[in-house]
Amino acid sequence: MTYLLAIDQGTSSSRSIVFDERGSILAQAQQELTQIYPRPGWVEHDPMEIWRTQLATARDALAKAGIGARDVRALGITNQRETTVLWNRRTGLPLHNAIVWQDRRAEPTCVELRARGLAPKIQAKTGLLVDAYFSGTKLKWLLDQVPGARQQAANGELAFGTIDSWLIWQLTHGAVHATDVSNASRTMLFNVHSNQWDDELLQALDIPASLLPAIKPSSALFGEVDADLLGAAVPIGGVAGDQQSALFGQACFKPGMVKNTYGTGCFMLMHTGQRFQTSSNGLITTSAAQTTPQPEFAMEGSVFVGGAVVQWLRDGLRAIPSSAEVQALAESVPDAGGVIVVPAFTGLGAPYWKPDARGSITGLSRGSTLAHIARAALESIAFQSAALLQAMSRDAVQAGAAAVAELRVDGGACVNNLLMQFQADLLGIPVVRPAVIETTALGAAYLAGLATGVYQSTDELSALWQAERRFLPTMSPARAAELMERWEHAVRQTVL
C-alpha cells in the first residue's frame, strides 16, 4: 500500500492526515492553536507553537496509522494563507508573532497605496484588491515596527514566508526556503502572469527581494523532511494554500467548477483555467494550484468569519457548551424569527470589502431567544456564501461562460445538514458534499502524489472523487430573493 502524509496548518488548529493512494483517510491527529488578540482587529499566532503542534500531529498521525516515515511516499503541505512570518536565517527563530490573515493593522498602508493610485496596477499584476488581508502590507508593518528588522533585512539576515515557507524551513532544518505559486499569489508582491516576484511591487512596499522564498509549482519536489524529525527522510512533493488545495482536492480542474470551504472563514473558488479575469463584482483573481510552470487561475471570494461565528456563540455569548451542539439549538426553532446576524467582527470581505464594518444583530423582537440568534448566526454563513456565488455567477456570465450549476462543499461546517440545505435553498442549485470532506489536506496529498509518481494525471484524481450527499433546493426563488434582500439590508446597516 502507498501512503501519503498531508500536514494541514490552519487558523484554529494544526492537523496531519495519512491517506492511502485512493484518497481514503487512515489516521489523523489535530491540536488547537492559541489565538492571540493584542488589540481590537489584531490577530496573531506564535510561529513556534505552529511548528511544535504541526510536528507533533505528524508524528501522532503516523503512529495512529501504524506506519513509519519510511512507508510514506511523499508529504504535502497546505496552510492558512496570507499569515506572515519573519525569521532569522541563522537561528531559525521568529522576530515577532505571526500576523494572521484576519489581522487589520496594515490598513493605513493600504490607504496610502490607494491614495498613490497604485490599486489598478496592483490588481492588474496580482489579481488582488488592495487590502490588509494580504501578506505584503503585513510584512512591511513587521519591517517598520520590529526594532532592528530593517537593518537585519538589509544585511540579508532575515527570511519572510507564509506558513508553508515557515514549515518547509523547519522541516528541512533551514536547507530550503521556498513557496509555491498559490501562496505567493496571496502576498500582493507576486506577478501571476509571469509567476515571479515583481520588482515594482517590492519597491512600492519597500521590501528587499533578499527576504523572499524561491517559487515552485504546487506539485514539485521542494526538498526532504530531515530524517531526525519523523524517523526517515520524506520527499516534500506538494505545497498549496488551503483554498487552492481544497479546489484541487475537490477535483475542480476544469473552468467553471466551483467549491466552497466552510472553515474559520468561508472561501469560494471557481477555476478559470488559463484565463485571467478581473472581477467587476468584488471578487479577486488568484493563482490556482499548478502542476506545471504554466499559470492557471481561479476567481475567489473570501468570507472573513464563517465557522468562527459558531466559536463566538460558544466562547463569546456562551450560548452553547460545544460547537457540535449548534445545529440542535438552531433546529429547536422553525426559523430565525426575523433575526439576522452579520458577523463582521473584523470587517467584511468579498464581495463587500468594508474593513470598517462591525458585527450586528438586527430584527430582534420580544420573542427572540438564543435559539433564534444561533440559527441566524448559522444562516449568516450561508448568506455570505450566497453573496459570493451570485457575484461569481455574474462575472462568469459577463465573460461569456455559463452561470454556476452546482457547488461542491467541504470544511468542518459542511457536515451541518441544516446549513447545507439552507445554502442550497438560497442558491437555487445543488450543493454537493463529497465522501471525503477533508479536501484541503487531500489536495496537498494529491499534489505530492503527482510529483512522486503515485498518480499520473488529474484525470486519475477526478475518477477518485465521490459525492456523499446532494442537497437540492426546496425554497421558491422568490422567497430566496426576499431573504437575500433582508440580508443585504442588514449588511448596509453594519457601516455607520
Judge whether residue 230 has pLDDT over 90: yes
Q: What is the pLDDT of residue 240?
A: 97
Kindly state the greatest CA–CA separation across the chain. Answer: 64
Joined grid coordinates for residue 269? 473558488
- Considering just the CA atoms, what is the radius of gyration of the chain in Å? 21
Proportion of the chain in helix, strand, coil states, percent, rounded to 5: 40, 25, 40
**pTM of the entire structure?**
0.88
Name the DSSP class of 347.
B
Give the DSSP H/E element, type plus range, for residue 184.
Answer: helix 181-184
Average the pLDDT over 486-490 and give the result. 93
Give the DSSP H/E element, type plus range, for residue 190.
Answer: strand 190-191
pLDDT tens, position by position, 131-190: 898 999 999 999 999 999 999 999 999 999 999 999 999 999 999 999 999 999 999 999
Joined grid coordinates for residue 369? 431567544
Joined grid coordinates for residue 419? 446549513
CA-angle at 106, arms to 269 and 162, nearest 5°: 55
CA 243, CA 164: separation in Å to the nearest integer?
Answer: 13
Average the pLDDT over 113-133 and give the result. 92
Average the pLDDT over 273-285 and give the result. 87
- Residue 20 confidence class, pLDDT cut points 50, 70, 90: very high
- Residue 282 confidence class, pLDDT cut points 50, 70, 90: confident
Judge whether residue 332 has pLDDT over 80: yes
Average the pLDDT over 407-411 and give the result. 92
DSSP alpha helix (H) spans, 300-343: 308-311, 326-331
Judge whether residue 412 has pLDDT over 80: yes
Least confident stretch, 27-41, 219-233, 252-266: 252-266
- Residue 385 confidence class, pLDDT cut points 50, 70, 90: very high
Could you give the strand order of the β-sheet that contains 158-162, starting from the edge strand earlier in sequence? 44-45, 98-99, 84-88, 158-162
Q: What is the pLDDT of residue 125?
A: 94
Joined grid coordinates for residue 87? 525569521
Q: What is the pLDDT of residue 349?
A: 83
Judge whether residue 430 has pLDDT over 90: yes
The percent of residues above 70 in pLDDT, for the chain, comes to 100
State whether residue 413 is helix, strand or coil.
Answer: helix
Judge whether residue 201 has pLDDT over 80: yes
Q: What is the pLDDT of residue 496?
A: 65
Average the pLDDT over 371-384 and give the result. 91
Contacts 24+ apart (CB under 8 A), 249-252: 249/410, 249/436, 249/438, 249/439, 249/440, 249/441, 249/442, 249/443, 249/444, 249/445, 249/446, 250/408, 250/410, 250/434, 250/439, 250/443, 250/465, 251/458, 251/461, 251/462, 251/464, 251/465, 252/408
Judge whether residue 476 has pLDDT over 80: yes
* Mean pLDDT estimate for the chain: 92
